[in-house]
Chains A and B, each alone.
Chain A
């Protein structure tokens, strides 16, 4: 028995008007970055069954436009914090791919030296300041980072990514309240993919009470954004960044997109019955990557050669990153007791 279609795509797809005002190089960069994340995720998925990546994975396929649209509107000096679904946001902000793959392969040279795993990707130099495998766990930490930025006048803005279930945690609202109270430069990115593991939003939050409206009631500036359209995301985040940097306080963005794969691990688990296979199929028609590629092609900005170029460049990078990770040494057992305390 298949579940009913509960969540239909409510956007308008990509349209030529979305492109106006953007330089072609920038548009191609957005496209390439989404394609890169997609291909990395597909490669991870394809090799997951080998059981060499002994780490849980939470694939972001279907949600790439959020990562790329948001991070392309942030400066390198700006910081982001991640949830358990880390890969896309880490990569889009400039996180090192080799260090990520080594972490997934539990190697010594993983970004967290193999103590973190895939749910704890970070790259401080790229502004990926931290992440948490506790739902909404990194939200107050991001707010604290923004408090420090305000206290020191660094001009930094801080973004924090979390899912629709993140707003079911008390600490999320506590943090939002404090951020609004102190008008902190924080961007709350709620990636609403309608599911928490196999539980649909309808069994977790009252129907008709939209997430972004709850945040509005807390005094944040809020936006509802089509999270499958990289330019809509980029535009919304760019204006949110400008507002936060100008001292206008926290900005909350609800970004709707669909997780094409299961909650964790490889493959789509829709057949298990918790969500409709038709629902997943419907959303796949609004692929953030292919849809944008089609638009760029239709506008004459992307031709087959260029595309092929991108694909081969990305494949070579992925090959190298996997090879690097697979051939890297395991960590030493002494690592277990290092860094428990700071000197």
Chain B
């Protein structure tokens, strides 16, 4: 099953080659380390969520944290997603730095009143008198019956909300560095991890470092097209690029890492060199990151384009639960390779 270690490892991002002496740890371990470091250096930080102190410890992110930092700083919550979001907002307004963990982004849909109507607007509405330094974290699910209500990547819905920052890390290094950056940020930051990346292992520096929010990064340099995207879908695109079907095609591959604020410069700079754009994202294509990045390039980089923009996100349908349907629903190496070839053909 997809949550088994073996399956997740097989799906996880291929480990980048590590230099001698670099420490290789798992994605979850990197996140756990980020939380522990944040709790250690800043007494204002506290971590909460459903089951953070249970034996599973939120995928292992919070295992042992309560024993180390005490139940006042790491605690389980009632199943009251909207109120917990507002409670974190209120505490953050007083200078605390809550990190609110959810199993799945689907549950964030119950929090839109506090997240969108309040957390995102407090600083604006009271003209900077309060800040809302809080982190809301959740892991996107996929497969094994997760289905319509346990696999939604909802960042597209939040993309148009002023006041929020949206982060989708793709590597253990970035997961840790972006978590630390989000906790240090003075705004509400939503981090959506992808469950299928969380068993990857890669080089992760020890100690504190922060990956800047709002900055994308080149995963590869090439000349035929720009593949711009996030999270697990970008990993699939990388695999597609490496497959025989894409032999001879060289691509710029940009991991946005943050979709709000969007690193517009890196996208336009790349498209200026390649003239072709493929946008990939684990969310729906319609009105989401795919649409926004496509629109950005159409608006500001139209003259740079040699071919129509292509997007590969999810179709305008909920995620089906069953295996056969799910195979057809999600993009995969084959469909992504076809999209890449199609663009360059």
Contacts and interface: CB of A to CB of B under 8 A. Distances in A.
Give the residue among B77, B84, B88, B165 with the most A Cβ atoms within 10 A: B84
B55 interface: no
Contacts of A112: 125-127
Contact of B114 (A145, A146, A171): A171
Contact of A341 (B86, B117, B129, B187): B187
Nearest to A158: B90
B125 A148 contact: no
Interface of B: 46, 72, 77-78, 80, 82-96, 113-114, 117-118, 122-133, 162-163, 165, 186-187
Interface stretch (A51-59, A115-123, A237-245): A115-123
Interface string A140-154: 111111111101100
B56 to A, nearest CB: 22
List 6 tightest A-B contacts by C-beta distance, closest first.
Answer: A144-B90, A140-B86, A174-B83, A174-B80, A148-B94, A141-B90
B127 A339 contact: yes
B46 A140 contact: no
B91 A147 contact: yes
B118 A178 contact: no
Give the residue among A134, A152, A339 with the most B Cβ atoms within 10 A: A339
Nearest to B163: A340
B125 to A, nearest CB: 5
Interface of A: 112-113, 115-116, 120, 122, 124, 129-130, 132, 134, 137-149, 151-152, 170-171, 174-175, 177-178, 181, 338-343
B158 to A, nearest CB: 14
A144 B130 contact: no
Contact of B87 (A113, A129, A132, A178): A178
Given A112-B126, A148-B94, 14 more contacts: A113-B127, A116-B125, A120-B125, A122-B129, A130-B130, A139-B83, A144-B94, A147-B90, A148-B90, A148-B91, A151-B72, A175-B83, A178-B87, A338-B127
A171 B86 contact: yes
16 contacts: A112-B127, A120-B125, A122-B126, A140-B90, A143-B87, A144-B89, A144-B90, A144-B93, A145-B90, A149-B94, A151-B72, A151-B96, A171-B82, A177-B80, A178-B78, A343-B186
B118 A134 contact: yes
Contacts of B91: 144-145, 147-148, 151
Given A144-B91, A174-B78, A339 B128 contact: yes
Contacts of A129: 93, 130
A340 B123 CA distance: 7
Contact of A115 (B95, B114, B127): B127
A340 B124 contact: yes
A139 B163 contact: no
A152 B44 CA distance: 9
Contacts of A148: 90-91, 93-96
Contacts of B92: 144
Nearest to B85: A140
Contacts of A116: 125-126
Nearest to B132: A342
B126 A181 contact: no
A339 B124 contact: yes
Contacts of B85: 140
B126 A139 contact: no
A84 B235 CA distance: 48
A142 B82 CA distance: 14
A339 B122 CA distance: 9
A112 B122 CA distance: 11
Contacts of A120: 125-126
